[in-house]
Amino acid sequence: MDQRIAIFAVSVIFSFLVCGEANLAKMTNAVCKSYNESWVVIHYCRLKAYSRTKTSLNINATFIEPAKKIHVHAKMMKRANGYKPFLFDYTLDACLFMRRRNQPFAKIIWNFIRNVSTVNHTCPYEGLQMVSDFHRIEVPVPLPSGEYLLLLDWLFDLKPQFATNVYFTYVEDIA
Ligand SMILES: *[C@@H]1O[C@H](CO)[C@@H](O)[C@H](O)[C@H]1NC(C)=O
Ligand SMILES: *[C@@H]1O[C@H](CO)[C@@H](O)[C@H](O)[C@H]1NC(C)=O
Ligand SMILES: *[C@@H]1O[C@H](CO)[C@@H](O)[C@H](O)[C@H]1NC(C)=O
Ligand SMILES: *[C@@H]1O[C@H](CO)[C@@H](O)[C@H](O)[C@H]1NC(C)=O
């Protein structure tokens, strides 16, 4: 997949992940795991409920060694007799992505995360990493109603180190 399309797809996913009451997108579960505890320790990975239709994501993890080469393998799944691949399965160079803030789609994501996380800088990343109260409401996008799962596998030096997987439901706005 072309990088531009992928960034667009990721930004679309982000934009409806963060939607609140408006279009009835709601994160329903967050599952994080470290594959290598000598590099990444996850302290906290949880959703906070605001209301029946709104939750926020909170992650607190420590990178024990500096991570200089970071890739994110993003895979979208939609539930239909188990979760099946949907829309995109793409690996992004996260360090390159953070350097190119002038890139329009990167900027969308940057704007989502800049105030709610410690990831608002370029590589390397070391020490405490946090995503706090990630719930920002954004422009709704048309997608089929259903249950979704966004699998994010984080690779350092091209080797998987940890995963942050977020389940969510989306109800199409037919109004
Ligand atoms: C696990 O982390 C250690 C410490 O940073 C690193 O040296 C090692 O290469 C990592 N192992 C894998 C399989 O990524
Ligand atoms: C992150 O989690 C650890 C372990 O639960 C905790 O000790 C630390 O205070 C947390 N840090 C922040 C800034 O929330
Ligand atoms: C982030 O915070 C800055 C400064 O407080 C503010 O100007 C900006 O609008 C905020 N951005 C988002 C996306 O909330
Ligand atoms: C990144 O976010 C933190 C916490 O909101 C803020 O203190 C810091 O100034 C931001 N850094 C940049 C480069 O925007």
Instruction: Read off the pLDDT of residues 79-104 as tens digits, 9 standing for 90 and up.
Output: 999 999 998 888 888 898 888 876 66
Overall domain count for the chain: 1
Whether residue 140 lies inside any domain: the answer is yes
What is the best residue among 43, 63, 64, 130 to mutate for testing ligand 2's pocket, by most ligand atoms within 8 Å of CB?
A: 43
Domain that holds residue 113: 24-171
Q: Whose CA is nearest to atom 10 of ligand 4?
A: 120
Whether residue 101 lies inside any domain: the answer is yes
Taking the CA of 98 as reference, the closest ligand is 4
Whether residue 5 lies inside any domain: the answer is no
Question: What is the 8-class DSSP label of residue 8?
Answer: H
Q: Environment class of residue 4 by beta-carbon count within 10 Å: exposed (0-12), middle (13-18) or buried (19+)?
A: exposed
Provide the pLDDT for residue 141.
57
Phi, psi of 81 (to 5 degrees): 55, 60
With cut-offs at 50, 70 and 90, classify the pLDDT of residue 69: very high
Taking the CA of 62 as reference, the closest ligand is 2
Q: Is 115 touching ligand 3 by the criterion CB < 6 Å?
A: yes
